[in-house]
Structure 1
């Protein structure tokens, strides 16, 4: 995942199983650049701290070059505001096709405000109701993504994965005990978000 314009994003870098740095993307990029320039002893990987998606960094050139590539792009030039005529204000509404059965359309048409208002209300309610489950799913996926990349062949990986998805912190801790310390600690930190969700 490229990270242009996200210099302040939080991430963690590894050289093999050793943690290089953790923190803001700009700081981690410079620490990673120093390791790459001296000659790494293992693969160098950088992970987004929220999702565990890998981050691709362009480490060519000077430190300033690296940071400049990570800086957010300048805002677009201000366009002159067009005079709006009568009608509905722009709300960022996006028109897309929705396929429903006739009974669904009938129900939606009978709702106050019509189909669009009813669908927006239903989506907002579902998002609010599903928020805890969505947070749990995202935390588990982030931990699993990191574990697969960094500890996929480590002893206890499969049992640790089962424990993660079962919400069994004790078994997860036991299964990760023999992993390299930096990998183990990062995996446990990511998994803690799933266990606490």
Structure 2
């Protein structure tokens, strides 16, 4: 199960930690201090949202690591909070008399006469139909974006850890073709942790 804004760490092809950044960083630090690099396995950490590599500064004590990651997280939170408060401030601004604010914005739309004729004949009138058409197009675009993002995330992870595994290229072709069964057949023999994480990242591409 993914943690919100979480990450996943691998030592070679073995998953060693998963969760919030601080939790994973401390687990990786403990792993390296306990086992060192005796088995030659490279430790890689991936952001669960897009499989981009995550780097931690693990120098010093656990408290040192916690302080550094806490500062980073605090900066991100402050940025988000500032944006949210900005939106709230605008929403709470005093309003003048008249109709209540419903979030509807009036702007000019230029169409040919036949377009206006068609819109006028639809139930609800032109405004309702236009809003419905825009929502439909937006949802379709968001669905395509989710597929594209999942393909890129799975590809990025697979390139890092599965590039030398059997049927890697076949798995990639199946990923971009949107063929789940073919994708899972191609990576069935991969190390379990790599296989399962690749499938999890790719899941939205097959929805």
Show the counterpart of 2:171. 160
Alignment of 1:88-127 (within 5 A): 113=107, 127=138
After superposition, give the CA deviation of every residue in 1:22-45 in whole Å (9 maximum; x if it has no partner).
Answer: 111111111111112220330000
* Counterparts of 1:62 and 1:149, CA distance in 2: 29
Show the counterpart of 2:20. 24
Q: Please state how far the C-alpha of 1:68 moved relative to its aligned partner.
A: 1.2
Alignment of 1:30-179 (within 5 A): 30-38=26-34, 39-40=36-37, 41=39, 42-71=41-70, 72-73=73-74, 75=78, 113=107, 127-179=138-190
Gaps of 5+ in 2: 80-88, 92-105, 110-130
Check the 8 A contact 2:5/2:49 in 1, yes or no: no
Show the counterpart of 1:109. none
TM superposition score normalised by structure 1 = 0.68
Q: Please state how far the C-alpha of 1:15 moved relative to its aligned partner.
A: 0.4
Q: How many aligned positions are there? A: 151
Check the 8 A contact 1:140/1:164 in 2, yes or no: yes
Check the 8 A contact 1:8/1:26 in 2, yes or no: no
Q: 1:114 and 1:60, CA in 2 relative to 1: closer, same or farther beyond 3 A?
A: farther
**CA RMSD in angstroms, aligned pairs only:** 2.5
